[in-house]
Structure 1
Amino acid sequence: MCGGSAHHLCSNEYFASVLVEPPYDAACCSKSCADQYIVEEALHDAVIMSDEKSIVKRSTRLLSRQNRRYFVRDRIRLLELFSTMDIPNIKQFCREQDIPRQTFSGWLTKSSTYMNCHATAKQKSLGGQGQVESIPFGNELVTFMKDVRREEHVLTTAHMITWIKTHHGKWLDRYIAMKKDDASGYNTLMRLCQRFAHRHGFSQRVACVSRARQQELDETHRSFARQFWSKYSDYKASEILNVDETGIYYDMPPRRIWAEVGGSSKVDKSEKHSDRLTAVLTIRADGRKLPILFIVHGKPGGKIEADEIPSYPDGHVYAVQEEAWMDERVWQVYLQYLLKNELVAETPSVILADNLACHVSHASVETICLDLCASLEALPPNSTSVCQPLDVGVMGPLKAKMRSLWLREAPVKTSAEKRGAMIKRTIKAWNSLTEDTIVKSFFKAIPQVYEL
Structure 2
Amino acid sequence: MDKPKRQQRRYTNGERKACLNEFSATTAISGRDFCRRKNIAYSTWQDWQARLFHLMRWVKANKMAWLVQYLSSKTSDAVAYKSFRTLLLRFSYRHRFRHRIPCKRKVSQQVLDSVWLGYAATFWDKYAQYDKSRILNVDETAIFYDMPPGKTLAEIGMSSKVSDGEKHSDRLTTVLTWEKEQPEVRVVWKQEQADQRRREDEQRRQESLDREEREREARKREQQHEALMMTFMAKFIGSSNYKYKIRASQ
Q: Which has the higher helix share?
A: 2
TM-score, with length taken from structure 2: 0.35
The structure showing larger relative contact order (alpha-carbon pairs under 8 Å, at least 6 residues apart) is 1
TM-score, with length taken from structure 1: 0.22
